[in-house]
């Protein structure tokens, strides 16, 4: 008899236990969807943020990029003609029937020079002007047809210089501000009117146009040269090409570096100048 009351008590409490368990299951069932939803929430899209940063970098303006290295001023290999004795060989009146032989000889000797071409000859022989540039030479204008700048109005002389520069650019792609006045004839009025141009004269005349003698041409070039000299010769004189090996050997024996007109100066040549010679130690 003593066990029956206990059994009765358990039986009486069973509905209560079942009810509590049922309530627990119901509550648990409500928790499951909530956790599942939390797990389904997408993570922050970091990839998009990184991609946006990359796009900003790619779209950076050119000014934000490193500057390209600047060319070294001076002659071949960055020669400073203010410290080393330099001279510049220059050739007028071309291009001509002699141009290829002259260019061949300069290439053989490993020398770069400056060619002052007339506009008319440039128009007639554009391939030679293009070769002058391809071979590493510098270019300037020498009027359209060798007209004296002082015997024309300043406006006419400057229009002529502009026309010649345009022909040189058309033949070679090179913009040049360098002008060699025919006969070395110019004045301040013409120089002032030719805005954007620099006049390049000379202080050594080989007189090749007069002698046509390779020995005399070489003698003038070698013996009259000084540090910074600009040496005048002519593309149209066949004997000048013949004199070149002696000229180059003689100048180098005296310790001169042979450079182009732009290389003769440590700073770019600016407009409005009339120049007869370059730097010297």
Helix H segments across the chain?
4-40, 46-58, 99-109, 119-124, 126-134, 154-172, 188-193, 208-211, 214-223, 238-253
**Does residue 104 fall inside a structural domain?**
yes
Both 94 and 230 in one domain: the answer is yes
CATH number of the domain to which 232 belongs? 3.20.20.370
Contact call for residues 245 and 49 (beta carbons, < 8 A) = no
pLDDT computed for residue 111 by the predictor: 97
Both 168 and 110 in one domain: the answer is yes
String of DSSP letters for 229-241: BEEEEETT-HHHH
Q: What range does the domain containing 186 cover?
A: 86-275
**Does residue 69 fall inside a structural domain?**
no
The residue annotated as part of the active site, out of 92, 160, 162, 219, is 92
**Does residue 119 fall inside a structural domain?**
yes
**Does residue 182 fall inside a structural domain?**
yes
Both 46 and 113 in one domain: the answer is no
pLDDT computed for residue 79 by the predictor: 87
pLDDT computed for residue 78 by the predictor: 76
pLDDT computed for residue 242 by the predictor: 97
Both 117 and 217 in one domain: the answer is yes
Contacts of 95 (CB under 8 A, 6+ apart): 115, 117, 121, 122, 124, 125, 128, 129, 132, 235
Both 103 and 15 in one domain: the answer is no
The residue annotated as part of the active site, out of 137, 142, 220, 234, is 234
Both 16 and 114 in one domain: the answer is no
Both 54 and 96 in one domain: the answer is no
d(CA 152, CA 115): 24
Question: What's the structural domain count of the chain?
Answer: 2
Q: Burial, 103: exposed, middle or buried (Cβ in 10 Å; 0-12, 13-18, 19+)? A: buried
Which residues of the chain fall short of a pLDDT of 70? 1-77
Both 92 and 51 in one domain: the answer is no
**Does residue 80 fall inside a structural domain?**
no
Closest CA to 180 of 124, 138, 225, 134: 138
Both 204 and 253 in one domain: the answer is yes
**Does residue 56 fall inside a structural domain?**
yes
Both 42 and 90 in one domain: the answer is no
**Does residue 181 fall inside a structural domain?**
yes
pTM given for the model: 0.74
**Does residue 281 fall inside a structural domain?**
no
Both 37 and 155 in one domain: the answer is no
pLDDT computed for residue 74 by the predictor: 54
Both 101 and 57 in one domain: the answer is no
Catalytic-residue membership of 234: yes
Catalytic-residue membership of 135: no
């Amino acid at each position: 008899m003593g066990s029956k009351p206990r059994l009765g008590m358990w039986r009486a409490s069973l509905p209560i236990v079942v009810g509590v368990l049922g309530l627990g299951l119901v509550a648990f069932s409500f928790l499951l969807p909530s956790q599942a939803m939390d797990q389904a929430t997408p993570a922050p899209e970091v990839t998009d943020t990184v991609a946006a940063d990359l796009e900003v970098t790619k779209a950076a303006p050119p000014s934000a990029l490193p500057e390209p290295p600047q060319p070294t001023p001076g002659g071949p290999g960055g020669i400073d003609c203010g410290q080393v004795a330099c001279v510049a060989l220059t050739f007028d009146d071309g291009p001509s029937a002699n141009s290829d032989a002259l260019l061949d000889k300069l290439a053989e000797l490993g020398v770069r020079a400056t060619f002052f071409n007339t506009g008319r000859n440039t128009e007639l022989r554009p391939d030679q002007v293009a070769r002058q540039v391809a071979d590493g030479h510098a270019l300037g204008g020498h009027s359209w047809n060798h007209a004296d700048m002082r015997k024309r109005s300043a406006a006419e002389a400057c229009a002529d210089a502009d026309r010649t520069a345009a022909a040189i650019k058309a033949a070679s792609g090179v913009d040049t501000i360098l002008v060699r006045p025919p006969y070395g004839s110019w004045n301040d009025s013409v120089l002032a009117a030719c805005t954007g141009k620099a006049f390049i004269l000379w202080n050594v005349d080989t007189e090749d146009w007069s002698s046509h003698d390779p020995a005399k041409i070489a003698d003038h070039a070698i013996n009259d040269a000084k540090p910074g000299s600009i040496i005048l010769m002519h593309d149209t004189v066949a004997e000048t090409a013949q004199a070149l090996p002696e000229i180059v050997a003689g100048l180098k024996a005296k310790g001169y570096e042979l450079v182009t007109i732009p290389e003769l100066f440590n700073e770019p040549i600016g407009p409005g100048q009339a120049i007869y010679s370059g730097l010297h130690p």
